[in-house]
Chains A and B, each alone.
Chain A
Amino acid sequence: MAEKTYVEDIDRSMYDFRYDEKDAYRIEEGLDPSIVEQISREKNDPEWMHDFRMKSLEIYNHTKMPDWGPSIEGLDMAHIATYVRPNTRMANDWDAVPEEIKDTFERLGIPQAERKSLAGVGAQYDSELVYHNVQDFAEKLGVVYSDIESALRGPYADMIKDHFMKLVPPTDHKFAALHGAVWSGGSFVYVPKGVHLEIPLQSYFRLNAKGAGQFEHTLIIVEDDAYLHFIEGCSAPKYNVANLHAGCVELFVGKNSTLRYSTIENWSKNMYNLNTKRALVQEGGKIEWVSGSFGSHVSYLYPMSVLAGRGASSEFTGVTFAGHGQNLDTGCKVVHNAPDTTSVVNTRSISKSGGISTFRSAVVINPQAKNSKSSTSCQSLMLDSESRSDTIPAMDVKTQQADVGHEAKIGRISDDAVFYLMSRGLPEDDARALIVSGFADNVGKELPLEYAVEMNNLIRLEMKGTNG
């Protein structure tokens, strides 16, 4: 009798290690005005940012919890510490980073990656950046890559003020408001007009503290005729209490520019990942989202592209792997606000061992978006009957002069494909492993080689089976 093919959970051992919060400063748990005041003082905020935080808290208190997605009942803000500062100052030399923190990032391969294939690296540990560096050649091109707090007080202060939470206002949803109130850390990137940065920048976010939240803010401004590839990675050790990640990413893509934003998300399975990402794309510009969602207990993650200029375009390529104890609600939103805009969405999701994967999307073509085109394809693979896989794609078309297509498929591993591969000489186990790996390859092939390898290691689809 044939044994049912078993697909292993993602091997998290390389991410699941932790250090004590030795000498760290930890704000008390909960959320009230005094805590927000305290964070603002700790951050030495300019006055406008202090006021912004307080206003955001007010909005948070009056905004309802979302009831359309996965349950977040297990998240109790009264038991979340919204600010944990490691006992170090930000460095631009790994040797100046405390040993335990440096060791953390070395085990995650960040310094090695920086040496090999990155133009700059930012590394955040709990609520603060602990390392930030940009290579000389990128600096000479005029590329700015810094922590956002420094940028708030430096020559780019006005630019930050003009852009901070303008794309994702605190009124957007409850966790955008929370972010506005307690944000800390994150990166600011500025790419001047005409600069093509061929080598990526990377930020890595590590949440080490138990029962804490991470609220980093990423603000990227790519001026006209420029190019940037930004890579974001995140992970955390697993605890038996809830952790929260409510980051915010705001991307401004200038005329005829391209920004590729790649994310490999591998939070631990006690994490509530309620992250918001949004891009505003001007005439002829392009945003490319590459997104791998593997971790967290609950995810709400839908990068949004606002195509504001004529001929702007977006591509979203994503893979989501939901295993035991995970409810990952992922997808994207695209708003076509200008003529001749195009969007392409291509996603895969895999559910196993009771995991729940939901693809949720919205494509909105507004009346002014004449001659726009949008195409969405989402495929889901169910690996057992304990799991769940849903697709909920919405399309709202407000002009006749648009072409919108959508296709979706949910199913299991095709017996025909297995048979074909076996007829070419592959054992059944290998055939099934190949199919599952290939299913998720839409993201892998969009990543730089080093990261594609990391992603494949991350998935580790180990197949086991015998022929009957």
Chain B
Amino acid sequence: MNMTLNRLPSITWYWLKMNNGFMEGVDPAGGAEIKDQIPAGVEKSVLSMADLPEQQTGMGKDMTTLVTESKPQVQVYTADRDKEVSDPVVLNFDYQAGKRAVNAVFLKAQRGAAVTVVEDFASGQDAEGFAAVQTRYLVETGATLKIIQIQRLGSGYTFLNDIGGRVEDQGRIEMIHLVLDGGHTYLGVQSDLAGYQASLKADIGYRVKGEGTLDINYFANHTGKKTTCDIDAKGVLRDQAKKVFRGTIDLKKGSSGSVGNEKEDVLMMDDTVRNQTLPVILCTEEDVVGNHGATIGRLDENTLFYLESRGMEKEAVYEMMADARVASVVHLIDSQTVRENVENYLAQNLDRNLSE
């Protein structure tokens, strides 16, 4: 099938070629193995796609069609009511070189629960392949769900990472997306802030290099009163990398008292990279505030000069600054084990890049 992916909720001029991503000839596939660690207070079950509640996702209908036609067993993880789960649920997606995989996950934080779920998408360093994951979630009244996604796929991997969920009264969804490695990545997220005081906090850290591409569509859909969202993307582009970020805050009629913020900070490290940013605010409610900001540019010349004057090679400065940019998002991870795991990965990457 041909897939239109990550379509902007409110499109703009076609000549910019920023309204959506597109993939040709994508066929359904079986699921990859998911190795999971499930702490006490979380139940695991399995459902079919038809059993899931209706939910739009960031990547759009074609992705849902792909997942549905792949007929995966949806892995369901449910945090018990009023239970604060201290250890994270860890889902390790083990992608093999040369394989294709389509998976589906449903995360449910029942009323008053608090739980963290880590989705770790990994393959061999230079592996090629295709992987698609649709993660849906439901955050019930007063619950908190934290999703940490770590992507460290091979440079030949195409990865479709699709998320969609709903947050009810005083519920909170927090997401950290770390795009550390991979070939062509599509990340689509839709969060329906439907309940009173529902909130979303999203932090995206990416580093795209080589001939890699990253296509993001982030959609905060405010329908509940006094809802809030904070979307913060930070990234680095190197070599011939290309990235498009579409961030939409939709303050719908009835979402009075809501506040939406989004910002993106992009560091362009080489002259052959390309960055496209489209931060959108849609507003049909008076009593709201929407803010967005974007800064796109190169490394500050004074910083570069200072570090070079202290004896560092220019390339080392670049690598260090790229690492620091992503590390600032990694530091937001609460779980020490998970954080250290990612920091070690980054340190190894830094060493390798500096020695190349």
Interfacial residues, chain A to chain B (CB-CB below 8 A): 68, 360, 362, 364, 367, 380, 382-385, 387-412
Contacts and interface: CB of A to CB of B under 8 A. Distances in A.
A395 B279 CA distance: 9
Contacts of B269: 400
Contacts of B270: 400
B253 interface: yes
B12 A383 contact: no
The 4 A-B residue pairs with the shortest CB-CB distance, nearest first, are A410-B290, A403-B297, A404-B296, A400-B268
A388 B256 CA distance: 14
A406 B293 contact: yes
8 contacts: A380-B283, A385-B285, A397-B268, A401-B271, A404-B295, A404-B297, A407-B294, A408-B290
B18 interface: yes
Contact of B251 (A394, A397, A401, A410): A410
Contacts, number: 131
Interface in B259-300: 266, 268-271, 273-298
B11 interface: yes
A404 B256 CA distance: 32
A365 to B, nearest CB: 9
A400 to B, nearest CB: 4
A408 B295 contact: no
B314 to A, nearest CB: 13
B274 A406 contact: no
A409 B279 CA distance: 11
A83 B170 CA distance: 61
A377 B280 CA distance: 13
Contacts of B297: 402-404
A384 B286 CA distance: 5
Contacts of A391: 280-281, 292
Contact of B286 (A367, A394, A395, A412): A412
Contacts of B14: 68
Contact of B274 (A68, A382, A396): A396
B13 interface: yes
Given A68-B13, A399-B271, A400-B270, A408 B284 contact: no
A270 to B, nearest CB: 24
A362 B18 CA distance: 11
Nearest to B273: A400
Interface string B290-334: 111111111000000000000000000000000000000000000
Contacts of A393: 278-280
Contacts of B282: 388, 390
B176 to A, nearest CB: 24
